[in-house]
Amino acid sequence: MNQRSLDRAAVRRLRRGVVASTHIVKLTVGAEPLVDEVRRQFRLLRAGTAQACFIDGEWGTGKTHLLALTRRLALEEGLATAYLNLNGQTAALNHPQRFYHLIATRVRTAEGVIGLPSLIGSWAAREDTRLALTRWAAANRYRGELAAAVDELIRSFEKGDFAPMQARSVVLGADLAWADYAYKREKALGRIGDLGDLLTAVGKGGLVLELDELETLEQLWNYRSRLGAYSILGRLTAMNHVLPFFAVTDRFSRQIDWDISFRGTLHDPGLSQIALGFLDAWVNGRFPRLRPAPMPPAVARTLVGKIVDLYESCYGPLNGMPDPHEVVREWARSPVRSPRTLIRKTIHWLDLTRDGSTGW
């Protein structure tokens, strides 16, 4: 796809208030401190001392945008990433055996390869990464099922055979999904950690994991389910080669406060030490908390200017173009200054200005 086609695709997404990943770095303004912190966390991940980060904010403040920016920056730095939208059903926080499968099918690298089986195939086809992959699988094949499955896949690729079904099932987590057994939850968490180790071994620096809507913790109406979720969070935030970025609203904090205050969670004998460690770190503020900054008018004008430049690169100079200052003033009259709303207003004004616009 040429640049003009990419630009037009980006404009179509902007009409929905969403910034395309191809343009997200260019169209992110006023977030330099957050970007610096994200890059610092990438360095820690490469050093094997990753520290989970939480992106705070209510709807429309830019949490998902910052997650997408994190994903783009990670790919540009040669790291592997996977995005997951949590919910109380298909990707419940207390059921990692369900969302490991989603991670394994979505993990991607800057080369454009998506999905763990495809990644393993691409690494096995190159001499340098094949050697690293083989060494990792051989060193860990008796420690976890993922390494043994990877070793079997490598052998099948070398012979030109079809990938064994059982090995693919383990790599993708199909043998774990939809079975609510404690040992399968443990296996899923082990495979997530092993995946981070594997990515480090083949030179990808580890796994940057973007988990959106962590506040869906409150959808786990069963108290014991939430205790399990706190244990899962304790495990995810302690993996050396997995760097989670969690997007949360205040509902997440309120649910934890309620469990601690009214359920006495911190003194519950059913609370695991791992879960207690997570809650203690959360309550005492030991996790980095990134909050998208409110957008002042000066920064908003800069964003509008960048959108206008992108729009004109697609459709040429506009006659009677609306004053960007007026767009910002109209947007600023709202008590909720959502960047998403500003983007949509800007594109709407530009479409109205463009002769013969059909708003396609």
Residues 134 and 195 in one domain: yes
Last residue of a domain, one of 263, 290, 317: 290
| pLDDT at residue 360 in the model | 37
Residues 259 and 305 in one domain: no
**CA 79 to chain CA mean position, Å:** 12
Domain carrying residue 14: 1-25+295-360
Domain count, the chain: 2
Residues 285 and 325 in one domain: no
Q: Which residues of 277-296 are buried (b: 16+ CB within 10 A; e: fewer)?
A: bbbebbeeeebeebebeebe
Last residue of a domain, one of 290, 305, 334: 290
| pLDDT at residue 73 in the model | 95
Its pTM stands at 0.90
Last residue of a domain, one of 290, 313, 339: 290
Residues 41 and 113 in one domain: yes
Q: Are 249 and 57 in contact (CB under 8 A)?
A: yes
Residues 42 and 148 in one domain: yes
| pLDDT at residue 341 in the model | 87
Residues 62 and 108 in one domain: yes
Q: Are 116 and 110 in contact (CB under 8 A)?
A: no
Q: Are 231 and 272 in contact (CB under 8 A)?
A: yes
Residues 215 and 66 in one domain: yes
**What strand order describes the sheet that includes 53-56?**
80-85, 207-212, 242-248, 53-56, 289-290
Residues 140 and 213 in one domain: yes
Residues 85 and 228 in one domain: yes
| pLDDT at residue 18 in the model | 86
Residues 172 and 303 in one domain: no
Residues 150 and 286 in one domain: yes
Going residue by residue through the chain (360 aa), what tens digit of pLDDT does each one get? 688 889 899 999 999 888 898 899 999 988 889 999 999 999 999 999 988 999 998 877 788 889 999 999 999 999 999 999 998 888 889 999 989 999 999 999 999 999 999 999 999 988 889 999 999 999 998 888 999 999 999 888 877 777 688 899 999 999 998 777 888 999 999 999 999 999 999 999 999 999 999 999 999 888 999 999 999 999 999 999 999 999 999 999 999 999 999 999 999 999 999 999 999 999 999 999 998 878 888 888 999 999 999 998 998 887 666 567 788 888 888 777 788 888 988 998 888 887 544 443
| pLDDT at residue 89 in the model | 80
Nearest to 42 by CA among 292, 286, 241: 241
| pLDDT at residue 120 in the model | 93
Residues 172 and 220 in one domain: yes
